[in-house]
Every structure is written in C-alpha cells, then in structure tokens.
Amino acid sequence: MDVAVPLPHPRWRLPVLGDLLGVSPDHQIEHAVRLARQLGPIYVRKIFNQTVVFVSGPGLAAELVDEKRFAKHVAPTIVALRPLIGDGLFTAYNDEPNLHAAYQVLTPAFSQAAMRGYHATMVQVIRELLDRWDAGAESDVVSDMTKLTLEIIGRTGFGYSFDSFDRPTPHPFVAAMIRSLVYAQRSMFRPPVIGRLTGWRADRRNRADIAYLNAVVDEVVRTRGRDGDGDDMLALMLRSPLDEVNIRHQIITFLAGGHETTASMLSFALHSLSTHPDVLARARAEVDAVCGAGDPAFEHVGKLRYVRRIVDESLRLWPTAPAFAREARADTTLGDGLRLRRGEWVLVLTAALQRDPGVWGVDADEFNPDHFAPEAAKRRPKHAFMPFGTGMRACIGRQFAVHEGVLALAMLIRRYDLRPRPGYRLRVRELLTLKPEGLFLTPERR
C-alpha cells in the first residue's frame, strides 16, 4: 500500500519487533484503542514483518463498508482460528465454496419463524438460571452467563444439552475453547522461527484441545442421528449437501461464537445495571408494563425498546466484534490518499469507532442507553455502530443474539436487584470477544 502523506505510528518502533513495545498479547484491543485516541482515526502499526492500518473514523468506516469497493478480509487473527474451525462461516475465505453453500443452508435457521420456535426453549433455560439465583448466593457472572448461553445455543440449535446448570463450573467444552482462543491470539506475537521452537508445549496442548472439541461435536451429531429430524441448525445441515467436516466446523463456530459473544454482552450489561440503579429501575418498569406477571411472550421482546437500548449500549462500549478487516476488491484510494491495491486490507477498530466523542458526545465512554434514543440515532452517522460487522459477512446470528439478550435481561431485572461486590472496578479480558474479569454480583429477590 502507498500513502500520499505518511500515516502516524507508535513512537518507539524497533528493528524486527516493530511496534510491539508496550503491547500485551492479552490486551491488544485496549492498546489499539489507546493508540487511536493518541494518533487519530487512521494509523499504522508494524508487528514483525506485518504492517496493519487501523481505522476508527466514521467517514473512513463509511467508505470501507461499501460492498462494491471492499469485502471481508480474513485477517491474521482469524486465520489463526482456522485449525479449529476451518471453513466455517466466520473463518472462511470469500471464494470458498462451502461459505456460500452454508449461508444458503443456515439462513432459514434465523428467520422470524425460526426465532419464534426458539423462544420457549430460551425461556426454559433462563428459568433454570433463575432457580439457581433464587438462592441469593453471590454469582460469578461470566460463568453463569456462559452456562446460560451455551445451554441456549446447544438446545435451540442442535437439540443437545450440556447439563450446564448441573455443573459447578462450565462444561469442559468452554475451557478447551478458551484455551484455543488464547492460543490463536498469542500466536500473533510469536517471533518467527524461535516461536516454533519454544512453543511446542502450547502447540501440543492446542492440538489436544481441538481434538476434544471435535469429539464433543461428533457426540452432538451422534445424539441427533444422521437422519436430520427437526428444523434447527443441525437438522438443516444434516439434510444439506454440506460435507461432514464442514458441518463440524459450522457447529463449533456456532457453539463457540454463539455463546461466547452473548455471554460477554450480558455480563457487561449486568455490571452496568448494578452500578446504574436508575437505569435498572426504568428498564424494570418497562418489563412490568409490557410483560405483566408471566414469562415474556415472543411478541413482548420486540416491545422492550428500553431494554434493547441497554443491549445496544453494552455492545457499543464492549462490541462483540471489537475489530474487523476489509480488503480492496480492486485498486482504490481510501480517505485522503491511502492507495490500496486489490487484496490489500485495513482493520476497522470498532471498539474505538463506537467511543468516538465526535459522534457519541462527551459521555462517549459512559454507559448511557439514551445514546440509542430515536432522536440520538437520527443524528448519528449510519456506520458509527457496527457490533456485528458489516455487509454480506456480518454475523448471521445477530437477530438470535439480540432476542436472547433482551429476553434474558428482561427476566433477570424483573426478578432481582443486583448488588455489586464492594470496591470492584471493571477489568476486561480479551478473547474472541471482550468480557469482564472477576465480576461477581449478588442477586436479591425483589
């Protein structure tokens, strides 16, 4: 790529290592957002021999979402996941045949009719969490939200229960998945040659984790049988032309991404509600008015507009996809002079874009669901909020995630006050998505 004017970059660039000084493999996004605040809406970093352009300005983002000029790029951080999920929807290259075949097969699983069919199972699983929380014991929030969302995607998508609420800790699938995500993330910071020599233990453990995850998926398929009865995601795939290996990749993609991201959003939302009792009270009043005394019906969820704002605000501050890459379909120029040849790519830093004070105001770093009030949304640039990515490769399950998130929050806040652990300050762990670390809340029945 060529630039008319040199792009800003971090101050202390080193031979071989590039701009790695001060970067932790476990806090890459946090560091990138901090650099965006220092260097502006477009800057460049060099990591070993890889040069990456970071973009966080709404004007530049608006150019990059133009599907005629740009497409999804499978960035190195996503390539690192391919040993785990191969040509699944999230990691497939744009020209892989299974990508388009899988979209055709799986799109009906996220239709309005399909969502209506999932609703009762979602309610049932959430009620199992309520039974646990009724004891009034302190909750490890991320662990409980992980159990909740894994159980929901397992039962609704694949007719399989992980028995999450009968376990003191999440299913071993979760631990293996997290280790694989950490491995993929840290592999980006391995020095060439030396990294292969010193990382053999991590390599061996990752191969074992992938083998275990594959075995769990094979058990999911065996439990259902190969006849494909039903109309959930697994049934659609078993009746489709997708090959057995790709079906495995799709199942791991949905089990991993489909629960990890929503669990993170719910955890951040519950933390914010515990520290903003005024917001919780307003949301609870809406739930009481819309849903009455019984469980929320499918039709109620779309009417919980303030609860939906809480979901959106949580995704704004802590986006499901904190960054996504876009590549040029043909030679083009981005902004005021970044010349990109066909196939060259840049990284849209959603986590910085969605906190831009020029777009979101002086309280851009503060939790305020009224950022999504209708009048505020009208004033905002269209592409300032993209927690699920963009274009043809945007998250296929976004409607599922939003419905699940609104429903779960509605049932929890109607039933409980949320008491935070004294002195807790939010800490964030970075994996496939961002999640709170060390977050404990005590649910108190109303």
Residue 291 has a CB neighbour count (10 Å cut-off) of 18
Concerning whether 291 is annotated as a catalytic residue, the answer is no
How much is the pTM? Answer: 0.94
Concerning whether 388 is annotated as a catalytic residue, the answer is yes
Distance between CA atoms of residues 64 and 431, nearest Å = 25
Distance between CA atoms of residues 54 and 35, nearest Å = 10
Active-site annotation holder among 388, 390, 400, 433: 388
pLDDT of residue 216: 92
- Among residues 59, 71, 72, the alpha carbon closest in space to that of 334 is found at 59
Task: State yes or no: pLDDT of 198 exceeds 80.
Answer: no
Architecture of domain 2-445: Orthogonal Bundle (1.10)
- Among residues 319, 261, 296, the alpha carbon closest in space to that of 408 is found at 296
What's the chain look like in SS3? Answer: CEECCCCCCCCCCECCCECCCCCCCCCHHHHHHHHHHHHCCEEEEEECCEEEEEECCHHHHHHHCCCCCEEECCCHHHHCCHHHHCCCCCCCCCCCHHHHHHHHHHHHHHCHHHHHHHHHHHHHHHHHHHHHHCCCCCEEHHHHHHHHHHHHHHHHHHCCCCCHHHCCCCCHHHHHHHHHHHHHHHHCCCCCCHHHHHCHHHHHHHHHHHHHHHHHHHHHHHHHCCCCCCCCHHHHHHCCCCCHHHHHHHHHHHHHHHHHHHHHHHHHHHHHHHHCHHHHHHHHHHHHHHHCCCCCCHHHHCCCHHHHHHHHHHHHHCCCCCCEEEEECCCEEECCCEEECCCCEEEECHHHHCCCHHHHCCCCCCCCHHHHCHHHHHHCCCCCCCCCCCHHHCCCCHHHHHHHHHHHHHHHHHHEEEEECCCCCCEEEECCCEEEECCEEEEEEC
Which pair of tokens denotes residue 281?
Answer: 């009270």
Which residues are CB-contacts of 338 (< 8 A; sequence separation ≥ 6)? 1, 2, 3, 4, 7, 42, 53, 346
Domain boundaries, the chain: 2-445
How would residue 196 be classed by pLDDT, with cut points 50, 70 and 90?
Answer: low
pLDDT in tens, 116-138: 999 999 999 999 999 999 999 99
Task: State yes or no: pLDDT of 43 exceeds 70.
Answer: yes
Task: State yes or no: pLDDT of 94 exceeds 80.
Answer: yes
Higher confidence at residue 221 or residue 280? 280
pLDDT in tens, 212-244: 999 999 988 888 876 666 789 999 999 999 999
pLDDT of residue 5: 65
291 annotated as belonging to a binding site for a ligand: no
| AA letter at 96 | E
Active-site annotation holder among 261, 262, 390, 433: 261
User: Are 49 and 67 spatial neighbours (Cβ–Cβ below 8 Å)?
Assistant: no
pLDDT of residue 228: 61
How would residue 382 be classed by pLDDT, with cut points 50, 70 and 90?
Answer: confident
Task: State yes or no: pLDDT of 3 exceeds 70.
Answer: no
User: Are 353 and 56 spatial neighbours (Cβ–Cβ below 8 Å)?
Assistant: yes
Question: If phi over 0 gives left and psi between -120 and 50 gives alpha, with beta otherwise, what is residue 292?
Answer: left
pLDDT of residue 182: 84
Concerning whether 162 is annotated as a catalytic residue, the answer is no
Which pair of tokens denotes residue 214?
Answer: 């594959």
How would residue 26 be classed by pLDDT, with cut points 50, 70 and 90?
Answer: confident
pLDDT of residue 13: 82
Please report, in angstroms and rounded to a whole number, the separation of the first and last CA atoms in the chain: 59
Higher confidence at residue 300 or residue 3? 300
Distance between CA atoms of residues 444 and 446, nearest Å = 6
Higher confidence at residue 227 or residue 253? 253
Of all residues in the chain, what percent carry a pLDDT higher than 90? Answer: 76
- Average pLDDT value for residue range 298-307: 98
10 Å CB burial of residue 68 (0-12, 13-18, 19+) is: exposed
Task: State yes or no: pLDDT of 193 exceeds 60.
Answer: no
How far from 318 is each of 128, 335, 423, CA to CA, in Å?
27, 27, 21
Residue 398 has a CB neighbour count (10 Å cut-off) of 16
Higher confidence at residue 412 or residue 184? 412
pLDDT in tens, 268-277: 999 999 999 9
* Strand arrangement of the beta sheet that strand 70-72 belongs to: 42-47, 50-55, 345-348, 324-328, 70-72
